[in-house]
Every structure is written in C-alpha cells, then in structure tokens.
Amino acid sequence: MSALKNRATNSLLRSEKKSLRRFLTLYVAMVVFGITLLSLYYYESQRQLMLSNKRAELAQYAYIQTKRLKVLHHFFPERREYPRDPRFTSAIYDIEFNRIFSLNHLERVNFDEEIYVEHGYIHFVKGLDTYYLGTRYLVIEIKDDGLWLKQIWKDIIIYGTAAFILFMLFGLYLAKLFLKPMRDSIILLDRFIKDTTHELNTPLSAILANIEMMDTGVMVEKNRRKLERINIAAKTVSTLYKDLTYLTLEQEKENEDEMLSLKEIIRDRVEYFDVLARSKQITFKLSLADTTIKMDRRKFVRVIDNLISNAIKYNKRNGEISIILEKNKLMIADTGIGISKEKIPFMFDRYLRFNSSEGGFGIGLSIVKKILDEYHITIEVISKEGEGTRMVLVW
C-alpha cells in the first residue's frame, strides 16, 4: 500500500495538477489582495498618526509666529522685516486666499486641509482670528524627513512577507485537504488496476500460448474463424494488459536504451496487429525507410502498439492505416472517426476517453505521451471528424 501510494503521489494526474494550480492561483490572488488592503490601511493609519504628532509641534510654531506677526503689526511701518525662524518657514494669506508674503518652498496651499504632506513638505494651515497686517491664514511649512515612510515600508515588507508565507502554508494545507478525495480515488483506481493486472496474467498467457500451439491446418473453416476471433480478443486484451503492466510495474524500471532498427520493429508490430485489422477489413499501407533511434525497446513498442491499436480501434470498416517512416520522423494515419480540434489537447490525459463504445481505461495515449516526453520526441496530432487522424512523431 505504501509503495502504491508513493507511486501515485509521484505521478500526479494532469487534472489534479490543474485543480491545484487553479486553487493556488485564486488563493494567491486573494492573499495578495488582502495583504495589499491591509498594507494600505496600515499606511494610512501611520500617516495620520504621524500628522497627529506633528500637529502639536506645528501648532506651537504657529503660536510663536502669530506673536511675532502681532509685534510686527504694532510697530509697522518702522519695522518691515518679516519674522523668520530656523526651525520652519511660513507664509501669510488674506481672507481671499491671496498671498501677502511667503518664505515657503511650495506656493500652492490646500486651505481645505489643516495639515498635510506634499512634495516632501508638511504644511500646517492656521486661521487667525485677529487680522494682523491683513492676515487671515498662516501657513507653517517644515521639511518632511521621510523616516515615518521608511519605517512603514520596512514594516510592510517584513510583516507582509511573513503573512504571505503563513497564508501560503495554510493554503497548501487547504489544497491538500480539498484534493484528498481526488487523491484517494486515484490511489484506489491504481490499486484496482494493479490487482486486475495481476489476475489477468495467468489466464491471458495460457490463452495466447494455446492459440499459438493450435494447428489451424487441420481445422474446418468454421472452427478456424472461431479461433481467429478468439485470437483477436486475446490480442486486444493482451495490449490492454501490457499497458496496465507498464503503468503499474514497468514504468519506473531503469531504461535499457539501445540502437533500435525501427523498420523491423514496426513490421513486426503490424504483423502482430494484422489479425485485428483484418477483423474490420482494414489494410495497412507501409512506406518504411531504414532509420534508427536510441531508446528502450519496451517503451518504443508500447508507443507503436498504442498508436496502431488506436488507429484500428477508431478506424472505419474497410478503412486504411498509413505508416510512413522517414529519417527522424514517423507518421501513422488512419481513415477513422477523427476527433474535434477542441478535444485534441486533452486526448493524452490519463483515464480520459472520448469514445466509451470502444472500451479501455483511457491510459494508452497517456503512456505514449509520457514516453515521448521522456525521450524528447514531439508528437503532432492532426485530426478532422469523419476523415481520420494523423499522428506525427519527430525526434
């Protein structure tokens, strides 16, 4: 059970990965959105706190400057120099918001705000009850050192990153929790396949061995046709059995790569499947050039068997299968039912079958794709409903 579980864990199905990707994408987007909102709220609260602290200091400066303006007002015009302070600059405006005098760096004043930050300066606007020198508004300006902003960014980065990591760990836990039913189903299915495969071994081997030993020359035509039908059924089950065996037992074996003569192997497999093809009056059309590839023989045979088996299975009666082998290229085409363009990207998904009438577990093409990916062989599928399918392998 443990080994089976590990195997299933290491070979996540595409649908499971897709579900995990979608969940994590949505979850990450929500986490980032939430952290961003909290960061904005934290920034605004800290900015208001800083302004609140500065308000008391600037109100004190405004009080001092008001006293100075009062003195200047009483001794005007003998004294004409506007009072200055090294700690701040200031400006005075009349009741119509017209500037009377200014030492501030920024000319534009927002009279709707009592205190605000703009372009690196903090402004404090104070309305005066007594109109010294015609002044209605006093604007105190000091340089913003920006330390509060640096501290906010530091806090956001540190606590935001920590929160993101915590939420991601929680998200992974949730994903594992949500996907557990799917994972359990996969493990159960894999276990069922393994047990079924084991039980098929002995009777299937006995059937095939006895068929080979029978002398068809002494049989009457009626019995010969019956035997041929048994042979077809046995080879169909044998192909499925080999896929199941490969899936549950052999795919993790070490590769035994060798230089393969593809022409000979393809001819051998065509001969093997000929009895199945003849049952639907399907003819093979071969054009095989001498070419080789370095690959594990078991895996190449699984690829060819599945492609030829599918070309027979989904072909029409009296159809044709063309197999063209060229240097670094193999094409297998049938004249069968074809498949719609929308379904082609999903045809290599494990356990996925678009035509349930033909039986099977939907594992053959997933094995093909996995083997081809392992050997960096590309496969192109050209198909049209009602006209057939063409598989092109390039390496």
Structure tokens at 47: 């900015």
pLDDT of 286 strictly over 80: yes
The confidence score (pLDDT) of residue 225 equals 82
| Mean pLDDT, range 295-319, rounded to an integer | 90
Confidence category of residue 222, pLDDT binned at 50, 70, 90: confident
Lowest mean pLDDT among 84-93, 226-235, 260-269: 226-235
Tokens (6 digits) for 288: 């095989």
Give the pLDDT score at 359: 54
Give 204 or 350, the one with higher predicted confidence: 204
Q: Is the model's pLDDT at 4 over the cut of 70?
A: no
Q: Choose from 242-246, 355-359, 368-372 the range with maximum mean pLDDT.
A: 368-372
State the architecture of 255-394 in CATH terms. Answer: 2-Layer Sandwich (3.30)
Average pLDDT over residues 242-258: 76
pLDDT > 70 fraction of the chain, expressed in percent and rounded: 91
pLDDT of residue 1: 36
Q: State the pLDDT at residue 333.
A: 94
Can you tell me the mean pLDDT for 96-101? 90
Q: What is the pLDDT of residue 193?
A: 72
Residue 14: band (very low, low, confident or very high) from pLDDT cuts 50, 70, 90:
low
pLDDT tier at 58 (50, 70, 90 boundaries)? very high
Instruction: Please give the pLDDT value at position 256.
Output: 84
Residue 217 has a pLDDT of 78
What average pLDDT does range 298-308 have in this prediction? 91
| Domain residue limits, the chain | 1-144, 255-394
pLDDT value at position 352?
60
Q: Which pLDDT value is given to residue 155?
A: 92
pLDDT number for residue 392: 94
59-72: pLDDT as tens digits: 999 999 999 988 88
Residue 37 has pLDDT above 50, yes or no: yes
Reply yes or no on whether the pLDDT at 106 is more than 50: yes
pLDDT at 279 over 70: yes
pLDDT of residue 265: 93
